[in-house]
Amino acid sequence: MATSQFSASCSRTRPFPHYESRSRLIDFTCRSSKSKLFFTRSLNRKQSRRSFSVKSVSSEPTQKLKDPIADEEASTTLSSLTTDAASVASSIKYHAEFTPSFSPERLDLPKAYFATAQSVRDSLIINWNATYDYYEKLNVKQAYYLSMEFLQGRALLNAVGNLELRGAYAEALNKLGHKLEEIASQEPDAALGNGGLGRLASCFLDSLATLNYPAWGYGLRYRYGLFKQLITKDGQEEIAEDWLESGNPWEIVRNDVSYPVKFYGKVVTGSDGIRHWIGGEDIKAVAHDVPIPGYQTKTTINLRLWSTKAPSEDFDLNAFNSGEHTKAYEALGNAEKICYVLYPGDESIEGKVLRLKQQYTLCSASLQDIIARFERRSGASVNWEEFPEKVAVQMNDTHPTLCIPELMRILIDLKGLSWKDAWNITQRTVAYTNHTVLPEALEKWSFELMQKLLPRHIEIIQMIDEEVIGTIISEYRTADYDLLEKKLKEMRILENVDYPEAYADILVKPKEIEPVEEVEIENVENVESLDEEDKLGEESPDEKEQVLPEPVPEPPKLVRMANLCVVGGHAVNGVAEIHSEIVKEEVFNSFYQLWPEKFQNKTNGVTPRRWIRFCNPDLSEIITKWIGTEEWVLDTEKLAGLRKFADNEDLHSQWRAAKRNNKLKVVSLIKERTGYSVSPDALFDVQVKRIHEYKRQLLNILGIVYRYKKMKEMTASERKEMFVPRVCIFGGKAFATYVQAKRIVKFITDVGATINHDPEIGDLLKVIFVPDYNVSVAELLIPASELSQHISTAGMEASGTSNMKFSMNGCILIGTLDGANVEIREEVGEDNFFLFGAKAHEIADLRKERAEGKFVPDPRFEEVKEFVRSGVFGPYNYDEMIGSLEGNEGYGRADYFLVGKDFPSYLECQDKVDEAYRDQKKWTRMSILNTAGSYKFSSDRTIHEYAKDIWNIQPLELP
């Protein structure tokens, strides 16, 4: 169990703020004279530009300060490292010598990176410990963000940027013979996420720290990530991610913070009447903490990641010594593999079990930790009714849904609360963010699997389901049974599971009595003889060939996690205006009718620190110069000030120069990663995101193929006149078992191999697939992009966040009216967004039209499919991929994502792109207005809304 929130790398029993004087802090913290000198200097650092004060903290509606801090000890130790480059260099050398992970011979790049990171971490630890000591003493309400993904990216440049130490570290490393950028490039991306879900979570943590909100993130520490993507002649190949191979200098393992997590076993009723979960498989979840610094503030919050292991006594020494090595290690291996891989393949039962174990580990360990903190802060008297006034738990999608039955289990079975009280506390504590309308993301788990793995939780879920049934019956009564049946079918937690006994009789549909047709018999005497004659004419059972009907398989019993989230929490939010409307009107309409007050919209946002200030310094300097302040980094509404300069030729010239400089970096990246050479003078057209049919990378590449075909039919002069030179860049991972997505990756690379080696085309068209797309690649691609594709089938993308990053960096979007595209287009202006495609409200009718065989494809669509089938892109058979776009019905067919329907309008829109790009003055104006209009899409704004409307927490700045 946890005894303290943080422990620094130096030995001590309590956090820094408990020390009464500066000299005691320095003496106790540092064991060498060199380190002591360094920390003495660090405490003399100049004050940060932001002022610090304790703001009023409230909770439902006001949050009482248990023990306000007014004495000087809280502020004595909140100093960060000095900005003196000489002291920074001394710190780096100290860590290279005394906290090494490498041999001592030389300070080469990997060793220099580790020493630099550990030097920065010194500063973070001081503020990190002080932040949570302060929150602990004030007993503030805290938000906890639970997510299966945190796509952090590299930490070094972000940390020194947020601490405003970039200049000092650049100068210090230069003195040591290295460049800061070269050192930063040694850091592997933390393999803790895959796509927008994880990147959003990381942006949120940055904003929470920057805005001084008391909050933590909770996730799992994946040893091998999702996978490292290789692009070969066969398409995508997956190998294990090696991000932890040399260690992680940013994390601190908390060996004193571990919790038991149980699987399997059985549930029995004790003599006290309480249900006890006994037996089964026990593992330990161990905390690894990563500091998250805010920008221009001392607040440093925590990302706590869980790793899993078994107790050492589970190692069967006798079996090992008997030569049964696999058996000896079995329990340890079963525990450790829980945190091996993000989203292990779930085609097998073993894969499903592992995924469910991951989700429960995250929920159980995190809630035990949260409850331990609540009890410690409460002191001798714990009032569980106050739990929702001190704790807010946000479930990022359905992966952490088991928080609901787990919190109920702990409160009822371990803390002795009644069902009614526990249910009330749980509903007031937990909230749910929905990220998708796609069926595969609205998780459903096998009832039998969950019953086996988590027997106590399935009991609790059944009781919650019974609560839901009771609520629905009281709301809709039984007069209109068809309506009641419809509501129960849509809203129950359990699918295809019998009604509980308490409602079994009430929910039996009344049978309609059919009238019996009266037959008038004229001659009663003949009835018996007629029956006998009929019997004589019948075949005997032996003579009859008996045909038994095929048995109808029973539908699987399922637990609907999204329904459990809606029922078990007090708030449900979508992540863009159009998505939130779909959530209310379609996905959860029955719930919305019953509880409209639960449903909210919280349009996603991205941190302007990482996604423009740090990754695009050239453009950042221009923005600051023209709007006259750097305050836009914290207040993005000031970006709107660029609008008045949108036609200024001097700004245009500087803007284009910054873009070209960024494009040159990507030219180098492409050459290094793929071997292809591209021209920086071409239009950089980018689509980077998870590879999925609904995101329609297939529409993009088919458009490129059509463009290539038309080019080949022209003379060289006609091609040059007709087409603007383009570099079409793709990036993203296809899930390892998603066959169609992997076919699309293979197709893109085959098209690129053909076009890029065609001497007739030259620099007029290039197709690039950047392997192993991640945050660090995005930080190069996004500032260099000029056109970005967000072309999902309307109504299927919840929000998107990359569209916001591209727009913020002056990139113009081509897309459908889907997700946050709708709001981006409103803010940047219709003339500065390339729109095409069907609207969300039209999709259902278009699919129906297809099913009825009424769809007539555009001739250009048929032409491009035949061109692909001709074999021009190599011998690979693309019949299955093209076949998915054909037919009117059937699994994997009938063009479910409407590529064929939107293809003609997409081509016509691309012609408008070419026309606009030829007029560089017009294009630059559009680019400036995109940056100016992106002010609304800061994650700071989103976090303020969550804090106010869902979590009811307020910012708390350190003194």
Amino acid code (one letter) for 409: R
Which token pair is 877?
Answer: 């058979």
Of the candidates 111, 254, 373, 435, the residue annotated as catalytic is 435
| Residue 435 is among the residues annotated as catalytic for this protein | yes
Only one residue has tokens 């018999």, namely 521
The CA distances from residue 193 to 117, 149, 305, in Å, are 22, 4, 12
Q: Which of 262, 409, 610, 690 is catalytic?
A: 690
DSSP symbol at 606: B
98 is written with which tokens? 């005394």
DSSP string, 840-893: GGGHHHHHHHHHTT-----HHHHHHHHHHHTTTT-S---HHHHHTTSSSSSTT-
801 among known catalytic residues: yes
Instruction: Give residue 604's identity as a one-letter amino acid code.
Output: N
Q: Which residue pairs from 414-421 have beta carbons closer than 8 angstroms and sit at least 24 positions apart in sequence?
A: 415/384, 416/274, 417/384, 419/463, 421/384, 421/385
* CA dihedral over 87, 88, 94, 99, signed as positive or negative: positive
**Reduced to 3 states, what is the DSSP secondary structure of residue 574?**
strand
Rounded Cα–Cα distance for residues 930 and 824 (Å): 9
Of the residues 82, 674, 801, 816, only one is catalytic, namely 801
726-731 and 765-770 strand pairing: parallel
CA distances in angstroms from 377 to 133, 374, 383, 391, 934, listed in the order given: 11, 5, 11, 12, 41
- Known active-site residue 325: no
Q: Tell me, rounded to whole angstroms, the distance of Cα 327 from its chain centroid.
A: 37
* 3-class secondary-structure state, position 67: coil
Token readout for 334 is: 């079963």
Q: Angle 775-784/649-674 helices, nearest 10 degrees? A: 140
3-state secondary structure of 40: helix
Cα–chain center distance at 626: 35
Distance, in Å, from the CA atom of 587 to the CA atom of 670, rounded to the nearest integer, reads: 41
Instruction: For the sheet with 494-495, list strands across it.
Output: 444-446, 558-560, 494-495
What percentage of the chain's residues is helix, strand, coil (to nearest 5)? Answer: 50, 10, 35
Helix axes 33-42, 85-98, angle to 10 degrees: 140
**Do strands 572-574 and 683-688 pair parallel, antiparallel, or not at all (unpaired)?**
unpaired
Find the catalytic residue in 95, 689, 726, 742. 689
Around 760, how many Cα atoms within 13 Å sit in the side-chain half-sphere? 14
CA 11: distance to chain centroid? 36
Angle, in degrees to the nearest 10, between helices 455-476 and 481-491: 150
**What is the token pair recorded at 768?**
């690039």
232 is catalytic: no
Catalytic residue among 805, 825, 850, 901: 805
Report yes or no: 746 and 698 within 8 Å, Cβ to Cβ: no
Question: Which of 695, 825, 925, 936 is the catalytic position?
Answer: 695
* Chain-centroid distance, C-alpha 594: 29
Supply the residues annotated as catalytic: 435, 689-690, 695, 801, 805
